[in-house]
Chains A and B, each alone.
Chain A
């Protein structure tokens, strides 16, 4: 499926900003099931010193400075991607048990496994704990295939937790989310990652988009008017498998990946340092348009 994504971030300042330095992770990366056709950023006022590179996790990151004094700042990322949904939805109910996977992660020396190992560790937003392990326990029955365990975990999170944009902020700890059973897509992803890592397995955070307007007759998915987030788990010999606990589904051709990392902190869409500006008002809009199969 082919999409055009338009992601606009708009800052209005009460004072004048003299200059600013910024980093944007707004251009979708390429991966097994996704090809980037084209992408560009439109920045107002005009940026100086623009440079595109890849970060530690291989995400596309744009650095730019703005030296012109301004009181509004707009970044619009426009990209076209092709998503191959079938590649993501494999029948893996008979796959390796989670204990075996844990063991492989410890001992295997293949590059892919070595790279996956870093995602078994705690990270700034996600500290594993006995509470997380206890919540996940019913899903991780001994000998259960990893895919099945994680699929079950995803369903349980979807059923047990209430989507509530008012309850959490960017810095709400996973334990609070667990305790109150509320949050948004980002919290559910963090929570699931913490659960999976509690069992010695590799899980990472994926940020991206889902299709805004569903095809006729289908329901509109939650999280479609902004950035969306889900999580991904490493399966040896298969690769990384995505799970979306917010919508209780295995992402197919409606999920577009932008970036991944250990947690939200690694994939912040736009950050910067401004000199001046006082207070600001922020508006974000995302439009994902289907261009055809």
Chain B
């Protein structure tokens, strides 16, 4: 035991730049007191173990599907969230100052927002220049005079802070549009406290959960007065947004439906959620959609992310939007130089937390200063848009600087210059030990019932490499948890369980949006279609490569029949049905690999898996961690190389086996772990419907035409293998493969989970539980009628009739009966789509 040892010096090899301020060690190389408890633990673990913990943290994040999407990526793919396990430590004393500064700043920005969309005293009294407001893209005239209930307008606020060489914390930028990061901060906390449990316990760190409780209270408080228990929804731009993970995460954590613009509609002066069970009134919207995109009627008419008429509802006070539309005006960095004057005017106070020195070029002296010092400054446009983003002057070439000068001279009021601070450094774990890297801290405020509340901690980010600088919102930075040392003892644990408890406090009735039900239904269908396709392909590959039976005269014909069936079933035409099919049938290898792995090919297994994962991602908030982990596995199967080299079919077989395991894990988890909510119901309807239709297709493709006995026997063997029924068959029947017995097993055996009768039974039960199914003595609804017919057809079918073969070698009865059943199932799908998933056609400007 050496817990009494206080590390006097920094860990080995922690070398600092000369002028940098380091968060952990002082200029004498001593560990600062608020880091000592943490560093003791770190020393005990040793740097090798820290590296292990770092990897463990990344694994947890990956498994939880924590991502940050990268715009412009053609595949719309997401990047894993990066986390360094060593938190940024902040002493209780310093936090008191930061907190006070943030409280003041939140209040001040709130008053500015209320003024700009109210009396506009600030411009009238010249406390803010007209151009900064009236010419700013974030000042939305349509939002003039719209107010939320109560004092608070700015409900959610984030500030990026960094420490300069003078040890002071400076505000680098304010986030008021739809501040992101609070959810990532929470997830970071959960992961870090899991991989470093001892440290977390010993350091008396402030907990985060209360912050979200206050957020919920505040949002409830702004609901229109008519709403007794307000329905709060989280509006997301959708799965392609860079912080979509966080939207889904917060929605499920807070118990709010996650909705996209077309899940909502305006009727009779209110906003409604198009849920499975009809329109539900929405009282409060947390928006993660930029304000100009929120209403195509009054704001940006080409927006497809908003709700037409939303602003009018807000204007009437029938819905509260947080943050209110128009709040992005506060992100204007040109306001910074005027904040001290405004603080005096509104509060009679000086600013407790200052902004990094900022010069607005709309004033002649300031413009001259910026032009003369371009290389030393960060140049920011007052309004961010495509191509208008902050740049570091010292990274620009002479030509770029000259170009920038021209832009500033042509439109000076559009630019500010901001002092470029050399941020402080903090330790990061690397494979080689600790390294000091620049850090920045994003803090969060929420307007609760009793004023603003600051999240005790926040989302820190550090530069990806030693010596790198950091710009706020930069891609590629590595996040850190932030530990604020409590001045008084804290509750014992903070775990997912603890947060789960708060979920039940917060809870909201889960009105499942129609779009979500639609997506989850298709996840069921895609996953099942992928699995059935894989099974048939695997059987075919086995027959071709693993168990070839070239001596058998019937082998070739039955194999070709399987090839053609594969093309038809997956819909990967022309494939083995094309004009050059003779050649393909002779050397089928590359075609089989393409059907498995070519993601670009419609109907391929890779494309089906991709569709299942993508569709699943768009309802990310509905999956548990375990199910999502399996989805992540599915996604990884897609990373297979498309060329398999030598022994390709052998490798393919292995890939297919793994895919089957993953898909089985998915169906197993959804059977065993999902509550029997409407979500599950639609997932399983999708799955059963797809399986039933594929059984029918397979039988029609392979058995509608009569083959000679030997071929037929081999085909039956393959069919049984495909549906995992070989053993079952052998137990019940003779070892010789006979059609009537196989049909009994595949069509009528209700105890066989891969028979058609089993699927129809399930569907019959499911449709009676649909939200709009008949109640009591009412007549059967359309969906139920279809399944009653399907079920009776199976009950009444005569096996001998089905086996009859016409003169031209066709089993007409079998084919006709199966065709009718297919029609009934297809009609069921259409009926469900029309009844529950009907979407509006997309909006267009008049």
B589 at the interface (CB under 8 A from A): no
B268 touches A109 (CB 8 A): no
A interface footprint on B102-128 (CB within 8 Å = 1, 0 otherwise): 000000000000000000000110000
Q: Which chain A residues in 106-149 approach chain B with CB under 8 Å?
A: 109, 114, 117-118, 120-122
By a CB distance below 8 angstroms, the chain A residues around B297 are: 21-23, 271-273
B846 touches A11 (CB 8 A): yes
A121 touches B301 (CB 8 A): no
A273 touches B135 (CB 8 A): no
B846 touches A117 (CB 8 A): no
Q: Which chain A residues in 256-293 approach chain B with CB under 8 Å?
A: 266, 270-277
Most buried by B among A19, A21, A276: A21
A172 at the interface (CB under 8 A from B): no
By a CB distance below 8 angstroms, the chain A residues around B131 are: 121
B130 at the interface (CB under 8 A from A): yes
A121 touches B130 (CB 8 A): yes
With A65-B309, A114-B124 given, is the CB distance from A275 to B843 under 8 Å? yes
By a CB distance below 8 angstroms, the chain A residues around B237 are: none
Q: Which chain B residues in 256-314 approach chain A with CB under 8 Å?
A: 266-269, 296-298, 301, 308-309, 312
A20 at the interface (CB under 8 A from B): yes
Among A11, A23, A51, A277, point to the contact of B298 (Cβ < 8 A).
A23
A271 touches B134 (CB 8 A): no
A56 touches B141 (CB 8 A): yes
B interface footprint on A162-194 (CB within 8 Å = 1, 0 otherwise): 000000000000000000000000000000000
By a CB distance below 8 angstroms, the chain A residues around B474 are: none
A273 touches B843 (CB 8 A): yes
B135 touches A271 (CB 8 A): no
A274 touches B130 (CB 8 A): no
B312 touches A270 (CB 8 A): no
Among B144, B840, B842, B845, point to the contact of A271 (Cβ < 8 A).
B845
A214 at the interface (CB under 8 A from B): no
By a CB distance below 8 angstroms, the chain B residues around A63 are: 309, 312
| Bound CA–CA A266/B141 (angstroms) | 10
By a CB distance below 8 angstroms, the chain A residues around B130 are: 117-118, 120-121
A49 at the interface (CB under 8 A from B): yes
Most buried by A among B135, B316, B841: B841
| Bound CA–CA A131/B315 (angstroms) | 41
By a CB distance below 8 angstroms, the chain B residues around A56 are: 141-142, 144
B772 at the interface (CB under 8 A from A): no
| Bound CA–CA A270/B123 (angstroms) | 31
CB-CB nearest in chain A for B298: A23
B841 touches A20 (CB 8 A): no
With A114-B124, A121-B135 given, is the CB distance from A18 to B309 under 8 Å? no
| Bound CA–CA A22/B843 (angstroms) | 12
| Bound CA–CA A275/B135 (angstroms) | 32
Among B144, B266, B316, B845, point to the contact of A272 (Cβ < 8 A).
B845
Among B124, B134, B268, B843, point to the contact of A121 (Cβ < 8 A).
B134
A89 at the interface (CB under 8 A from B): no
By a CB distance below 8 angstroms, the chain A residues around B309 are: 21, 63, 65, 273
| Bound CA–CA A48/B309 (angstroms) | 13
**Measured between C-beta atoms, what is the minimum distance from A277 to chain B in Å?**
7
A contact residues, total (Cβ < 8 Å): 33
CB-CB nearest in chain B for A67: B267
By a CB distance below 8 angstroms, the chain B residues around A275 are: 840-843
| Bound CA–CA A276/B268 (angstroms) | 20
| Bound CA–CA A251/B841 (angstroms) | 46
Most buried by A among B142, B267, B297, B846: B846
| Bound CA–CA A22/B295 (angstroms) | 12
A65 touches B266 (CB 8 A): yes
A272 touches B312 (CB 8 A): no
CB-CB nearest in chain B for A117: B130
Q: Which chain B residues in 814-846 approach chain A with CB under 8 Å?
A: 840-846
**Measured between C-beta atoms, what is the minimum distance from B313 to chain A in Å?**
10
| Bound CA–CA A273/B130 (angstroms) | 32
With A20-B846, A65-B309, A272-B297 given, is the CB distance from A49 to B269 under 8 Å? yes
A277 touches B144 (CB 8 A): no
B312 touches A277 (CB 8 A): no
**Measured between C-beta atoms, what is the minimum distance from B808 to chain A in Å?**
46
**Measured between C-beta atoms, what is the minimum distance from A241 to chain B in Å?**
22
A interface footprint on B308-331 (CB within 8 Å = 1, 0 otherwise): 110010011000000000000000
By a CB distance below 8 angstroms, the chain A residues around B315 are: 53
| Bound CA–CA A276/B844 (angstroms) | 8
CB-CB nearest in chain A for B140: A56
Among A67, A266, A271, point to the contact of B846 (Cβ < 8 A).
A271
By a CB distance below 8 angstroms, the chain A residues around B134 are: 118, 121
Q: Which chain B residues in 129-170 approach chain A with CB under 8 Å?
A: 130-131, 134-135, 141-142, 144
B846 touches A270 (CB 8 A): yes
**Measured between C-beta atoms, what is the minimum distance from A198 to chain B in Å?**
14
A273 touches B846 (CB 8 A): yes
| Bound CA–CA A11/B267 (angstroms) | 22
**Measured between C-beta atoms, what is the minimum distance from A55 to chain B in Å?**
8
**Measured between C-beta atoms, what is the minimum distance from B281 to chain A in Å?**
15
By a CB distance below 8 angstroms, the chain A residues around B123 are: 114
By a CB distance below 8 angstroms, the chain A residues around B144 are: 56
| Bound CA–CA A122/B130 (angstroms) | 11
By a CB distance below 8 angstroms, the chain A residues around B840 are: 18-19, 275-276
| Bound CA–CA A277/B842 (angstroms) | 10
By a CB distance below 8 angstroms, the chain B residues around A121 are: 130-131, 134-135
By a CB distance below 8 angstroms, the chain A residues around B842 are: 275
B312 touches A51 (CB 8 A): yes
11 contacts between A and B (CB under 8 A): A18-B841, A19-B840, A20-B846, A21-B266, A55-B141, A65-B309, A121-B130, A121-B134, A121-B135, A273-B301, A276-B841
Q: Which residues of B contact A (CB under 8 A)?
A: 123-124, 130-131, 134-135, 141-142, 144, 266-269, 296-298, 301, 308-309, 312, 315-316, 840-846
Q: Which 6 A-B pairs have the closest CB atoms?
A: A272-B846, A56-B141, A273-B308, A21-B309, A21-B308, A276-B841
Q: Which residues of A contact B (CB under 8 A)?
A: 11, 18-23, 48-49, 51, 53, 55-57, 63, 65, 67, 109, 114, 117-118, 120-122, 266, 270-277
Q: A23-B298, A121-B134, A274-B845 are in contact. List 16 more A-B contacts (CB 8 A).
A: A21-B266, A49-B267, A57-B141, A63-B312, A65-B309, A109-B124, A114-B123, A118-B134, A121-B135, A122-B135, A271-B301, A272-B845, A273-B296, A273-B843, A274-B844, A275-B842
